[in-house]
Structure 1
Amino acid sequence: MNLLIDDVNRVRTLTFNRPDALNAFNEALYDETTVALRAAADDPEVGVVLLTGTGRAFSAGNDLVEMQARISVRGADLAPGEHGFYGMLDALVDFPKPLICAVNGLGVGIGATILGFADLAFMSSSARLKCPFTSLGVAPEAASSYLLPRLIGRQNAAWLLMSSEWISAEEAKDMGLVWRVCAPDELLSEARRHAEVLASKPLSSLKAVKQTMLAPIRADILAAVEREKALFTELVGAAANVDALAAFADRK
């Protein structure tokens, strides 16, 4: 299974489970995560969703081997799955309950930008994050061009989105990208402890808080997704992107 699902004390933990691929998102994982988020949103027994990963990665982002194969076979067909990347983004934008991320290891691309949708983010002290868009010759994604400047400030967001450099857990906390940094063996217990505090509250009230926090910016998030999608479609398959993907495939 690409995604493990576990329920304890009204907290549903969704664990990315492609450890041999560093939990990179292939189309199956996008689809399974989308379905799981929608199901958790509709389940009255779920108060909070906690996202984490197995092995040494949170998520290595898009599965670049699969992306290269899709580009070479079908051109810039970016979402051949049932839901795909944009289906998962819709599920994240629409998710009406608290969403907590526990970054257990490296987070790359969507493995970093997904934190823009987190209500609380915890990060292992040994984890690292990177947004590799410029090294891949593509545009940003997951509304990160809007959410990250709002969350961590324009200059921090500019560095993260433009440099393709790694940032440490402490740097992520200093920027405001994550809320707490934990020792690796304490990460999940700390994230779950806070998740259970929230899950013990009335669900109607939790949803009201989230709705009122997101309502003023929801249209801006969706607009950012569309802007990024247009630029991503324009740049994917162009020379810089093709060269970067070929170099990655050669290293593999």
Structure 2
Amino acid sequence: MLQISDRDRVRTLTLDRPEALNAFNEALYDATAQALLDAAADPAVAVVLLTGNGRGFSAGTDLLEMHRMATDPTFERGEHGFVGLVDALVDFPKPLVCAVNGVGLGIGTTILGFADLAFMASTARLKCPFTSLGVAPEAASSYLLPRLLGRQDAAWVLLSAEWISAQEALAMGLVWRVCEPADLVAEATRHATLLARRPISSLVAVKRAMTAPLRAGIDAARERENAAFAELMGGPANLEALAAFAEGREPDFTSLPPGW
């Protein structure tokens, strides 16, 4: 589910649910959050590199499990879950490098708001499908993406639920480098290894100085997003979107009650 390897003070985390395009179920949320917590506490780790196995970087939250979560009151959540993963990302004190090897949806895109360096394969695509799922943004993306991309590019990414190509992501500033697929991990690893040669104490100090001014904004955005998500999840638009996914069809929002 999650491969973990260490080399030259770089810990590589590889999301490994290729049959589901590395969609996050509760188990993968737990494993990734715990791996970030462990890397943060490990004095032998200087940098974390996050990538995916197979055709996907991450297809976001597992929608079949999300449907169960929305409709089954007995559903048991994981130890960390989505919130715990975002907590770990917000608090992660060392450089985080992302190598987007394939499709990235939802958290597979919004996680880039926490990346210190993001590399993307030329064939990869990104999408924030929130409006097509009848829900709200997540992971402080409503705050981080406008800062990273500018208001209008961020508005398009968050409102449209349309695919973003690698070249569009590069032009927007969502990623730092676009690579040929065969070169992606090697190039991301090369940069991560260069950073890992620096003193960990200095890397942590630089990242803390850069991110500390953002913490209040991130915390406030998460509160707003969580409130909106809680209001919308399980509502008519969300249930129609999840039912459509489970049935293999396009959602039809035209017959929803007024205001939805």
Does 1:124 pair with 2:121?
yes
Superimposed CA distance per residue, residues 198-221 of structure 1 (whole angstroms, 9 cap, x where no aligned partner) = 000000000000000011111111
- Cα separation, 2, equivalents of 1:224 and 1:10: 33
- Cα separation, 1, equivalents of 2:233 and 2:48: 32
Aligned to 1:203: 200
207, 214, 217: which one aligns with 2:214: 217
Does 1:176 pair with 2:173?
yes
Superimposed CA distance per residue, residues 34-92 of structure 1 (whole angstroms, 9 cap, x where no aligned partner) = 110000000011000000000000000000000101111129x8x82111100010100
State the shift of 1:222 in Å: 1.3
- Cα separation, 1, equivalents of 2:213 and 2:136: 25
Aligned to 2:47: 48
Aligned to 2:33: 34
- Cα separation, 1, equivalents of 2:199 and 2:68: 47
Does 1:104 pair with 2:101?
yes
Does 1:144 pair with 2:141?
yes
| Structure 2 segments unaligned to the other structure (5+ residues) | 250-260
State the shift of 1:140 in Å: 0.3
- Cα separation, 2, equivalents of 1:152 and 1:166: 16
Aligned to 2:11: 12
217, 226, 229: which one aligns with 2:226: 229
Identity %: 69
State the shift of 1:241 in Å: 0.3
147, 155, 172: which one aligns with 2:152: 155
Superimposed CA distance per residue, residues 101-134 of structure 1 (whole angstroms, 9 cap, x where no aligned partner) = 0000000000000000000000000000000000
Aligned to 1:191: 188
- Cα separation, 1, equivalents of 2:159 and 2:92: 28
* Residue aligned with 2:60, SS: coil
Superimposed CA distance per residue, residues 169-214 of structure 1 (whole angstroms, 9 cap, x where no aligned partner) = 0000000000000000000000000000000000000000000001
Superimposed CA distance per residue, residues 11-51 of structure 1 (whole angstroms, 9 cap, x where no aligned partner) = 00000000001100000000001110000000011000000
* Residue aligned with 2:119, SS: strand
Aligned to 2:77: 80
- Cα separation, 2, equivalents of 1:163 and 1:124: 22
- Give the TM-score normalised by the residue count of structure 1: 0.97
* Runs of 4+, deviation exceeding 2 Å: none
- Cα separation, 2, equivalents of 1:11 and 1:184: 21
- Cα separation, 2, equivalents of 1:218 and 1:43: 23
State the shift of 1:142 in Å: 0.6
| Structure 1 segments unaligned to the other structure (5+ residues) | none
The alignment covers a number of residue pairs equal to 249
Question: RMSD of the TM alignment (CA)?
Answer: 1.1
Aligned residue identity for 1:129: L
